[in-house]
Structure 1
Amino acid sequence: MVYIVNQFTFALQSQFMRAFFLLLTFLIATAAGAQKISGTVRDGKGAPVAGASVSIKDSYDGATTDSLGRYSFSSTETGSRLLEVSAIGYRAVTQPVQLGGAPQTVSVQLKEEVTELKAVVISAGSFEASDKKKATVLSSIDIVTTASANADVTGAVKTLPGAQQVGESEGLFVRGGTAQETKTFIDGTLVNNFFYSSVPNTATRGRFSPFIFKGTVFSAGGYSALFGQALSSALILESIDLPEQSSGNIGVSVIGVSGGVQKLAKDKKSSWGVNYGYNNIWLGFQLIKLRDEYFQIPEYHTADANFRIKTSATGMLKYYGTFSYNKLGIRQASIDTLGYKDAFGLNNHNLYHNLSWRENIGRRWKLNLGASYSTNRDDIRSNLVDAQNKEQSIPGLETRNFDLNTKGRYFNAKAVFEYRLKGLSALRFGLEHNYSDDGSDYVLFNGQRFGGTIRERITSVFGEGDIYLTNALAARVGLRAEYSVLLGKANLAPRLSLAHKLGAGGQASLAYGEFYQTPERRYLPAPVTLDYAKATHYIAQYQRIANQQTLRVELFYKKYQSLLKTGITGGREVATGSTGYGDARGFELFWRDKKTVKNLDYWVSYSYLDTKRDYLNFPTAIEPSFAAKHTASLVVKRFVPSIKTGFNASYTYASGRPYYNIGYDSNQDKFKLTDAGRTIDFHSASVSVNYLPKLFSKKGASRFTVLVFSVSNVLGNQQVYGYRYASNGRRKQAITPPTNMFVFLGAFISFGVDRSEDVINSNL
């Protein structure tokens, strides 16, 4: 038995040794025929790329580069083959090699892969807040928790550099431009009458709630070729898509009540919603001292409706519509006749519809369609009344008694096609049509009436390309062409932006663009041929965003040409030509910090503006009355999670603005400057407290409540926006806010969605 085992063991050992020698012979023979391949892998700047994978395609032969970018391996493959090189963050490269001969040295250069996480952002002139951009500055929560904004989109935007603090007129005045030179867009289409109708010497707020928007872009200049007819700046808003779940809401405050519902379908592919609000300022006026006398307390009815349908995995159809009706009546002491008052009454009806659809229509194609339609009607009555509020007609002041009815219809449609190139590069092009119909009926004290209708049709075509050369270098090149039926003229507006990445989170940008705008309708029709107003923008910017901190420094220069000039014809001011001109230059700084102190968020902005223009009735080029040389804002937000309470404060400063009395000399048929000065500096501090208790829940249905208390201009600083003059120019009166201080108290309850965590996270 032992002998048999020994014989078996010997036989096994003999077989193993024979196999070992055969394998060794094969390996030696193989090694003798193998070819060595070595080299280096570097990036576009010549720096070594460590950890790159280098291999022969469809084989197991390859290696990985060391810290110096070097690699070396042997291969038994022969003939014409492909060498594949890849590394994270770089584009893969294949390079042909001829194997079977002497050792080869193959060096490869890799180009950086352009990715959204690493790429530079084209941002000169623009503050962006959306779920698509890294440069988030203001979100919906930011807007409603900014103490001085009073939940108004433009109120929060005014804390950003570039925007002026103008309290006597609604709108955004940006970098030396008028409010008419800033346009607002929702889902790509133009919004007419974004603000409530004008009240003499008093700014009105925007019509739209900040909570309907998921993205906000405030471009103080140099904006995209997709938008036009805005000489100075653009406010671009994107509405929300489908809600997370069905919900309801109720609001109660000292100035009104509101309520609404948002219903999400069970398959989560569609939703609809309606809201209604009623505001009456009576109670607020009882608590504060007013500058003026209101014979009709401001009263507002607002309603809106929406639906959203997910048309495919990439498509979304959205509709949003609003209706508003408001009325007010105000009496102000007449500066022309002591003991008398100027009475102003306003009834306003406004209707707005917006329909948009976006869809991927191919592997690389995307389509965005949008259309908006709105109507606006103002019924205005002006009277001179005595101490008993009875209408009077005083010789020389009869024109104070009149009725003015205006009606406007507006339609805007836009189609944008986008083609994605390699990486983040893309081409966008499309067309836009804008139609407006403005009618007015002006009835004087003696029954004489005049007015008419101004119709305009503007057709535009545009194209734009985003070109990403590397993650660190990108360009946006655009061109827009417009044709105005009213002017009978066309324009061509080139746009160019460059962005270069500087270190982690930093980048430098340059922008250039030409922008055109048709004349303001209130000065039309004109007895002469007019032209487009033109502005040329030059912008240089440095921006750094890292670790919840944002720094922006921007220089700009803006040159105006062909501005509208006016004169007196038939007793009214009308356009007389397009010979006006001007310029604006300045420096802006923005710093936001959400990192240094836990649960504390603050930002600081500063603007320096040097501007002059000769337009409308200006006798020469002067600094416009809406421009302050120095403007600064500080916004501070402190959220305390343990008690779910946010403490917010803001402070705004603006240096004194110029004011003028420009009178018309009928003998010389020209305007003359008869008085000039500068207002006192503007100071305003505001505070607010937001408390977020969950009052009760029932079977998992959350009831989320926000209690809001805010005080605007809490220190009661005196504010003067300018001066109004008597008809003879001998007396003047300061234009001040309706009240030095405004107090707001309200409670807002949502049913079905607990938003407390959203609010907490937005403040961390």
Structure 2
Amino acid sequence: MKQSALFIAFLLTCFLAQAQVKISGAVKDNRGKKVISASITLKDTYDGATSDSSGNYTFTTTEKGNHILVASAIGYKTVEQTITIANEPLTINFSIKEEINELKAVTVTAGSFAAGDSKRAVTVLNSIDVATVGGGNADITSAIKTLPGAQQVGEQEGLFVRGGAGYETKQFIDGTLVNNPYFSSVPDIASRGRFSPFLFKGTVFSAGGYSALYGQALSSAVILESIDLPEKTAANASISPLFAGAGYQYLNKQKTASYGIDYGYVNVAAYFSLVKQTPDYFKMPQFHNGDANFRFKTKNGGMVKYYTTFGTGNLGIRRPDVDSSVLKDAFSLKNYNWYNNLSWRENLGNGWKMNLGSSFSTNKDKLSQQLQNQNNQPQHFGDDKFWMQYKNFNLDRLEDLSQIKAVFDKKLGNLNAIRFGGEYWHSLNKTTIYDTMYKLIDNYEALFAEGDIYITNNLAAKLGARFEHSSILGKVNLAPRVSLAYKVGNSGSISAAYGIFYQKPENQQLMYTRNLGYTRADHYILNYQKMTEGRIFRVEAFYKKYLDLVKTVPVNYYYTTANNSGSGYAKGIELFWRDKKSFKNLDYWFSYSYLDTKRDYLNYPIQLQPNFAAKHTASLVVKRFITEWKTGIGLTYSFATGRPYYNLRYDGALKPYLIADQGKTKNYNNLGVSIYYVPQAGNTNAKTNVVLFGSVTNVLGYNAVYGYNYSYDGLHKEAITPPAKRFYFIGAFFSWGVNRSEDAINNNL
């Protein structure tokens, strides 16, 4: 019996072996490259195999008839093929396409630095970075100036990017334009931005080639996305020799809605008594600032956000008059600003999303300029010195801007998407000077569309266009935009971008004449970026061609008109390197910009290097948090070669302007230091969290010169310098309900 059983088993084994059919083949991707570890199986059976190091597979099966053979691999689309199994071996080859997914797909980076909580964001600067940049004092613009492309301009507010003037960079919050992002300033002194970095969860600094969703920025765009909901209910307070403030944020138990309010008061009298200023402040600068917000989630997972902020300011300053050795210029400023932003983000289903945004802002400036004698008494002059009389004036300025914007977004499978929409701006500007009022009203409309096209995880494109119309110009334009990105290796990418960008002339230019059109800049950008864990390397080359820039044309000594005959170019190369890995507990980044630019605009007689542009600019930022000391230290060193200065004088109708004097300022150097101490670091149970903060700019005492002011006859010039050699800041910040000490530590290790 035992021998019979063995014989039957032998026969059965031979029978099964004869009944098995061999199935084999190869698995490759759509580019013909082998795919390793792909799974090949007969559907609804246990038969199958895995591709080897050559992409080949083989297995045997006893199944017969029609079946479905399935090939799948991580990162690729599953492919099914119907086969008929008889008695002969089968060879089935597969070509599978790469699955485009958010984590592996290349990102278009040409022209832009991004930061935020997006998985695909190129994390360069977050809110903690902005707050801890050495000497930056939590100012967004000061932090961005450490990135390539931005110039080190200290005598006026704004971001000067790649040969563009400060007014050619615009800021947007939740999709809508901010009309007055900086505090109103006095001549030759820059002011800081109005908004705290902790209001925002995402920041994009585009030095060029930005999205078709945004317009009216000839050179650059700073795109800010506000936070949705706070972490928890919390209160805060702050105090320093410069200001005092307090705030409260409430989050409901369901974490679906919140509201908040903050108030701050600034008065520099105590600080100026300790740190002497070069100008004579006859009205000590003081500011009141407050903001409020509410936010709630919708039933479909959307978000509604409202933010409002108001501010008032008052100051007066005296300086020696450049045309006299005994007279003074007394300048005073009163400002009122109110900004409102309402946005609604909603999921509409079937891959559709909607973003609605609206904003309203009003800004009122009351300026006064008066010539005074040594006793601070007003001085007046006759026709023999008419240019002196023009130094006495009162100017009232009102700027209102209302906006509404709608963007619709549709996913087309994987990461492919199309977005489109439109926006409308209504602006009212009134300027009254010498009892004459200039009133400018503009109705601006724009339509835009943009598509994200992912051909593979390694190749992507962004195509877009923007159509604009301005009623005050009576003209339309069409601005195409295109960007490409190709993945190189596991962590590198090459990106390219091209676009046409338009911007309306400034209001003070439209006061001369309404017979003006859009100014234009064509952007060409090529970059390489490599990102690994804790490191970013980036090199970018760019070329900009300026067309239709505004030229001022003097009719006589008293009257000036303008046209669009100006032109120019900007070209250069930029480097950026950030490293959080090489040195324990140390984070640093380095940026360098080379800029070659010339313009023939405003009163320039020929193409000249603009007086705000330096050929070489570099920054080094170093940060470290020393856990044992519960102390963070930030150092920022910035360098720029000298900028040109010109004395351009009216010379009659044949040669309207000539260069009476020119030169270059000395090189710019600035070392800023910030130190903050967190007593409760590591103590998550602390009821009151305290951060003690201090910073100093220009630690080494460099004597900065930004340019020169000239007398009317051109025989005398005075250097434009900071009001004080250094700026010092100390303050204490308290919070109850939320512990941010871990954020401060983790983001600086």
1:502-581 to 2 correspondences below 5 Å:
502-527=488-513, 529-568=515-554, 574-581=560-567
After superposition, what is the alpha-carbon deviation per residue over 1:306-331, rounded to whole angstroms, capped at 9, x for unaligned? 11101135311111110000011001
1:309 aligns with 2:296: yes
Match of 2:746 in 1: 761
Whether 1:345 aligns to 2:336 is no
Tell which structure's C-alpha radius of gyration is larger. Answer: 1
Partner residue in 2 for 1:4: none
Partner of 2:721: 736
Give the CA deviation at 1:704. 1.1
Who is 1:98 aligned against? 84
2:179 maps to a residue whose letter is N
Supply the AA of the counterpart residue of 1:319. Y
Q: How much has 1:114 moved relative to structure 2?
A: 1.6
Task: Give the conservation status (yes or no) of the 8 Å contact 2:681–2:741.
Answer: no
Name the CA shift for 1:572/1:171 in 2 (closer, same or farther; >3 Å): farther
The correspondence for 2:430, drawn from 418, 439, 446, is 439
Query: For 2:198, what is the secondary structure of its paired residue?
Result: helix
Deviates more, 1:687-696 or 1:713-722: 687-696
**Of 412-421 and 229-238, the range deviating more from structure 2:** 412-421
* Residues 27/120 of structure 1: CA separation in 2 closer, same or farther (3 Å cut): same
Specify which of 390, 402, 407 is matched with residue 399 of structure 1: 390
- How far is 1:408 from its partner? 1.2
Residue 638 (str. 1) matches residue 629 (str. 2): no
Equivalent of 2:638 in 641, 645, 652: 652
Match of 2:206 in 1: 219
> Matched residues in 2 for 1:566 and 1:500: separation?
44
- The 5 A counterparts of 1:205-604 are 205-312=192-299, 314-395=301-382, 396=385, 397-443=388-434, 449-527=435-513, 529-568=515-554, 574-604=560-590
Amino acid paired to 2:484: L
Q: Which runs of 5+ in 1 are unaligned?
A: 1-12, 444-448
CA gap of 1:510–1:214, structure 2 versus 1, over 3 A, is: same
Q: Quote the offset at 1:79 in angstroms.
A: 4.0
Instruction: Please say if residues 658 and 676 of structure 1, whose CA atoms lie closer than 8 Å, have aligned partners that are also in contact.
Output: yes
Q: SS of the counterpart of 2:742?
A: helix
CA drift at 1:455:
1.0
d(CA) in 1 for partners of 2:321 and 2:403? 41
The equivalent residue for 2:128 is 141
**101-110 or 153-162, larger mean C-alpha shift:** 101-110
1:704 aligns with 2:689: yes
SS at match of 2:390: helix
CA offsets, 1:281-312, max 9 Å, x none? 11111121211000111101000001110113
1:174 to 161, 167, 187: 161
- Secondary structure of 1:286's counterpart equals helix
2:19–2:87 contact (8 Å) kept in structure 1: no
Contact 2:66 2:83 (C-alpha < 8 Å) held by counterparts? yes
SS in 1 for 2:499: strand
Partner Cα distance (2:658, 2:351) in 1: 60
Identity in percent: 51
Deviates more, 1:343-352 or 1:726-735: 726-735
Residue type matched to 1:419 in 2? Answer: K
Work out the CA distance in 2 between the residues paired with 1:674 and 1:427: 54
Change (3 A) 1:573 1:112: farther
Q: What amino acid does structure 2 have at the position aligned with 1:227?
A: Y
Q: Which residue of 1 aligns with 2:100?
A: 114
Q: 1:695-749 CA deviation, whole Å, 9 max, x = no partner?
A: 9999x56211110111111111100000001112211100000111111110000
CA apart distance, 1:78: 4.0
8 A contact 2:464–2:482 mirrored in 1: yes
Aligned equivalents of 2:83 and 2:209: distance in 1?
Answer: 49
Deviation, 1:471, is 1.5
Q: 2:67 aligns with which of 53, 72, 81?
A: 81
CA distance in 1, matches of 2:50, 2:637: 58
In 2: Cα distance, 1:46 partner to 1:724 partner: 67
Q: Which moved more, 1:450-459 or 1:255-264?
A: 450-459
* Local SS of the residue matching 1:361: strand
Amino acid in structure 2 at the alignment position of 1:529 = N
TM-superposition CA deviations, 1:452-484 (whole Å, max 9, x none): 211112111111111111121111111111111
- Indicate if the aligned counterparts of 1:472 and 1:501 stay in contact, CA closer than 8 A: yes
- Secondary structure at the aligned position of 2:687 is classed as strand
- Inter-partner Cα distance in structure 2 for 1:82 and 1:484: 61
Determine if contact 1:701/1:752 at 8 Å carries over to the other structure: no
* Secondary structure of 1:254's aligned partner: coil
Aligned-partner Cα distance in 2 for 1:57–1:678 = 76
**1:158 matches 2:132:** no
Task: State the partner residue of 2:712.
Answer: 727
Report deviation, 1:417.
Answer: 1.0
CA deviation vs aligned residue, 1:585-613 (integer Å, no higher than 9, x gap): 01111111111111111111111100001
Q: Please state how far the C-alpha of 1:672 moved relative to its aligned partner.
A: 2.0
Letter aligned with residue 410 of structure 2 = Y
Tell me if the contact between 1:173 and 1:179 (Cα under 8 Å) persists in the aligned partners: yes
Question: Offset of 1:57 from its aligned partner?
Answer: 2.1
Please tell me whether the aligned partners of residues 211 and 464 of structure 2 are also in contact (alpha carbons under 8 angstroms). yes
Q: Residue 372 of structure 2 aligns to which amino acid in structure 1?
A: V
Change (3 A) 1:113 1:399: same
Determine the C-alpha separation between the residues in 1 that align with 2:682 and 2:500: 56
- Partners of 1:652 and 1:697 in 2: CA distance: 36
CA distance in 2, matches of 1:423, 1:620: 52
**Comparing 99-108 and 506-515, the one that deviates more:** 99-108
Report the CA distance between 1:526 and its aligned residue.
4.4
After superposition, the CA RMSD in angstroms is: 2.0
**Residue of 716, 720, 728 corresponding to 2:701:** 716
1:400 alignment partner, SS class: coil
Q: Which residue of 1 aligns with 2:730?
A: 745
Superposition TM-score, scaled by structure 2 size: 0.96
Counterpart CA distance in 2 for 1:17 and 1:414 is 87
Deviations 1:202-229 (A, max 9, x none): 1111000111011111000011111111
1:103 shift after superposition: 1.7
Q: Is the 8 A contact 1:523 1:573 kept in 2?
A: no
Q: Report the Cα offset of residue 121 of structure 1.
A: 1.3
State how far apart, in whole Å, the 1-side matches of 2:481 and 2:80 are.
37
1:754, 1:122 → 2: CA distance? 36
Q: What is the CA deviation profile of residues 321-347 of structure 1, one whole-angstrom value per residue up to 9, with x for unaligned ones?
A: 100000110011001121110011000
CA distance in 2, matches of 1:440, 1:269: 45
Tell me, what secondary structure is at the counterpart of 1:143?
helix
* Alpha-carbon distance between aligned partners in 2 of 1:710 and 1:64, rounded to the nearest angstrom: 61
